Amino acid sequence: MKELFYYIRKNKFAYVSLYILGIFYFLAIFADFIAPYPYDIQHRDTPYHPPTQIHFFDEKGNFHLRPFVYKYELVDPVFKTYEVNYNVKYPIEFFVKGHKHYLLGIFETDIHLFGVRDGKIFLLGADNLGRDIFSRILYASRISLSIGLIGVALSFTIGALIGGVAGYFGGKVDNVIMRLSEIVMSFPSFYLMLALRAVFPITLSSVEVFLLIVVILSFVGWAGLARIVRGMVLSIREQDYVVAAKSYGASSLRIIVKHILPNTYSYLLIAATLSIPGYILGESALSLLGLGIQEPYASWGNMLASARSITAISSYPWILSPGVAIFLTILAFNILG
């Protein structure tokens, strides 16, 4: 582990990527505290509200120690056009009281990192229902980021065990397992995800859908890893320490888990880092098509559903903010890997 962080520090791009991912996971963990609004609260009087600009200087050029925002007024309800009212200012307050939430899921509190009284603040704008996009991105990161970690942990456990068994025993066991993995790999992964998702009822809750997506992505992703691990195990099983373990009567499962698979961890660590973006994209694609996380719960995928219209994108470009989060996360994982 020390060598791993040494090489990360030597690579500036990997170092920056690690910081970016650390910031994203920090924001996901403390989303309840950092987000000024809950993910499902709607401000129907401000649909497609543009991003709120933070000011330190007023319209007369006077400097203010406390940052503030101006009031935005809806002047055209049809085309969702807003104008800034420079006569009304809302100072930004820190550690302000708002909606109650559970900090880290344990402590109930109504304190938020920042907010404004008697007004609204939308750092990244609002969607068609007036929901704060910044707050929804923070809450959605919990799903989109955790699904990659959980999916990789599950699929890599399955793939490593199956590949280890195939490589260790060889013969008919190897042939059967490899033919099965080839069958799974022969299906286009995206369409296989759609087919597996369509089998389950549409009345599932978002928690059940989340777990279902993890299982589906893990089922799709184990085959390729199993083939690679199997090839590595074919050479590792001939090492002296494996023969010694057999000689003192260790079981086959113990030899595979304790002596063979640990020697594949260097590859598994790199492969896992490079595989996480695939799970994030898979969840985003399913949610974008309405087969994943359902409203009002937020994920980066279903937040992009409103961006499928060219008219909406050209008129309200801030609705593409979840796409920027997906891009940065995937880029950071690939560079780090």
What CATH number is attached to the domain comprising 267?
A: 1.10.3720.10
Q: pLDDT tens, 180-231?
A: 888 888 877 777 777 777 777 777 777 777 777 777 777 777 888 888 888 8
Q: Assess contact for 319 and 135: CB atoms under 8 A.
A: no
| 16 is a domain residue | no
Listed residues 121, 155, 175: the one ending a domain: 121
Q: pLDDT tens, 42-100?
A: 888 888 999 999 999 888 888 888 899 999 998 888 888 899 988 889 999 998 888 87
| 226 is a domain residue | yes
Give the contacts of 91 (CB within 8 A, at least 6 positions apart): 64, 66, 67, 68, 116
Q: Which domain holds residue 113?
A: 52-121
**Could you count the other beta carbons within 10 Å of the beta carbon of residue 195?**
12
Helix (H) or strand (E) holding 61: none
Report the predicted TM-score, pTM, of the whole model to 2 decimal places.
0.84
Do 60 and 207 reside in the same domain of the chain?
no
Residue 289, amino acid: L
Listed residues 91, 121, 151: the one ending a domain: 121
- What does the block give as tokens for 219? 């089922």
Q: Assess contact for 71 and 84: CB atoms under 8 A.
A: yes
Cα angle value 301/303/309 (rounded, 5°)? 100
Give the N- to C-terminal CA distance of the chain in Å, as an integer.
15
